[in-house]
Structure 1
Amino acid sequence: MPNYLLFSVTGLGICWGLYRVFLKKEKLFVFNRFFLLFSLLLCLIAPILHIDYGISFDSRVAVDPVRFFDSGEILPDDPEKVAVATLTGPSNNYWDLIVFFYWMVCTLFFFRFSRNLLLLLLQIRNKSFNGYKGIKTVALKHRGSPYSFFDYLFIHPLDLVENKYLDMLVSHERAHSNQFHSIDILLLEVVGCFFWYNPFLWFYKKEVLENHEYLADEAVINAGANLEEYSAQIIKPGDKVVQPLLSGFSFIQTKNRLNMLHKKRSSGIQIALRAGLALAIFTAVLIISSFSPGNINEPIVVVVDAGHGGKDPGNRGKGQMEKEINLAVANQLRELGQPGEIEIILIREQDQFVSLNDRLKFLNEQKADLFLSIHSNASGDKNRSGAEVFFSTENKQWDISKNYSNLLATGLLPAVGKAELKTANFLVLKNSNIPAVLIELGFMTNPQEFELLQDPNYQKKLARGIYNGLLAIQESKVK
């Protein structure tokens, strides 16, 4: 999420700057229209594409776990567990509050958009009358500057009789209709419902609407209207449009339109240089935005072991067995892994028995940065709850394992509320050649927590918490 916000806001800001510096003052209205629309959409989409441009920093040789393992017996592994620290999450989950606020604002914007559109359609239905010179008309209750929506002209009936500039006005609004400017406006409104937090989106909206007016003005002049008379019509005072879905004759500052009407077109070479340079920089922004930011540095590789499997079910309850919960969270974690950021290797991808020795054998063959074992807990005390995160003091890199355990436990706090940091000399932890951590997600013996552990949405929250911990580990390695 932070990477998406950074690249989408920065990319859109750069493209808005490109338009202002290289394109806005040029009479390239059609080109500018599509540059604005496509750059807007691509800057919002590019950061989630993660396009592979053929650059790879990973020298690890992939190994197929299914072929690697042989059969084996279940080895008892229940060493003494020693508590190191207890981490408690904040009383308020700030991330949930942020997400709630985001969707609340989205809902308000969408309600506003839907309401405006409905009112507009009702107005068309109830107040439309005979068209004027090929454009449908809708009667306005109060006199003011006419405006358009698709092929409907909103105008007071008296203006059709008394307005001496009527032909130029209708030609202007017909240009809005013929060039489908209302589609652009609807697109901007819908995008704004979800990306309202991006400040450059609002600047983009202003530029698109202003360019619409330039396009319509150019169409009027090309149709044979007198430039000075048309300029007088633009200067003519009128009420501004307040309905956000409409193309209005006086929607933007009059000064900009007059300047553009009287501006001479630049030479072909100047236009080509400006447009070419803008496109070249935009392409570079698009490539950087869609290129996974972590690819600049080698990603961290994490071998994830979904505990138990096959003939070894782990803890049992009235519902899913431990092996199923562990695998579900491991699969969710793999889905979160991004190229160039966190690479997840699963020891088992299905309900398959793998002995502890085979797990170790596979793990130590990988050029990984961390081994992570996922389990679900059990206790004779049905009230015990929360996560437990283990590292082994007999691991050759126990100090790094301890640090990673703390970061993973911290990442889990928003989901579980409480996480205990403990030491235990589990076979897979102490005999691992790399830093190793074992996570007990929660207690299956606690009825409420067991119900949560079986919930796919909660499993996603657990996976997201672990992934946030892995991102923190990656940051610590870079530092």
Structure 2
Amino acid sequence: MGEKALKNIAVFTFILMLSVILLSVFISYEAGENSQNSAFARVRPTLYEHKNKSKDYLSTAKELKDELGEKYIIIKNPGNNNTYSVSEDYTKKEITLTINGLKEENLTDNEVVRVNQDEVYKGAVEKEELARSGFLIPEVLSAGGEISNYGTVPESLKADPVNGFTIRYEKLDDKEYKADVHFKLDHVYAPVLYEEEGQIYVALKEPSKIYRNIVVLDAGHGGKDPGAKALDSSCYEKSINLKILQDLKKILDQEDIKVYYTRTEDETVYLNPRVNLANETKADLFLSIHCNSSESSLPRGVEVLYKSNWKQGGFTSERLARIALEELKGISGYVNRGLVAGDEILIIHKSQVPVALLEVGFLSNKEELSLLKSREKEEDIAKAISVIIKKSLEEINSAGQ
């Protein structure tokens, strides 16, 4: 083969290799541009397509992502004249999407899609449900030993945010059905519902990014755990704690404060889920309502337990306890027993937010038992706790925390 022919082959080979390299770079660039929107490419949204027809697809996908956030659920709208609502059971990390007005049972598992950043999960949940910890034990035991650590760490930050879901139908009449899509989630979220033609979106937002202030209220004991028994055996602590909380809820329902309750009825709630709720929601305040008791009938008065080994800075558990004690001791007939370091109590030990356990009186003392069983006194205690919450939040907000 001549020298000229060899040179032509070399030039042709060089040009071919350069073309391949340039094509590879272009493909890689396009893949990089589209990778952040892969979730939207697989589940094409309709939210902005009708509003911004002049924009290209990637721009509308970015707007959709900004609107919904990193984690959300997409369900294909099974009809045209349906109504939707979302309810939550945050103590169990569960939400329910209710769809009314269905003409038939036409919603399938494959139409339930979950998105976490750029990962998409469709159909039945494949991952194993995360282990749940929680034991019904006396609340004065140490947080160590056989008690497992609160919460769990997901294997991947981009894991499916749904641990499982079910679809259940109810026939309302001859023409309509109702569907309840029940989700078990990996964390406590603030669900935000978006209704758009062709799609239903449920954004899974962090509560602390939705609400300015968050308070977690706990009525101690409940269900199979009765708490302390009254001196005359006429009642148990769990009932009085709950009555005070229910009165308090009526007051706080009128306020612009997001409140999570560990229980609002006589049910068994284990210790870990109580403190987990405060930690996962990044609550500003965590208050637990209790009644005290003693083997002797002589002790009386109010005391507040707090976390003494607080390391987070800012508004502390001790500060919350001091505000609480000032309000509670003002209730007629109560003796001030002061502040008590309660670091050995599980819900205090594990709390990562300002926490105070309120011992509002002794069931073992005849006079205080009479007060605690009085509806008027229970309402007074509820009002005092509402003031504790307002004063504490004012202090937190004024400090810019």
Structure 1-normalised TM-score? Answer: 0.39
Structure showing the higher helix proportion among its residues: 1
Larger radius of gyration: 1
Structure 2-normalised TM-score? Answer: 0.47
Higher relative contact order (CA 8 A, sep 6+): 1
Structure showing the higher strand proportion among its residues: 2
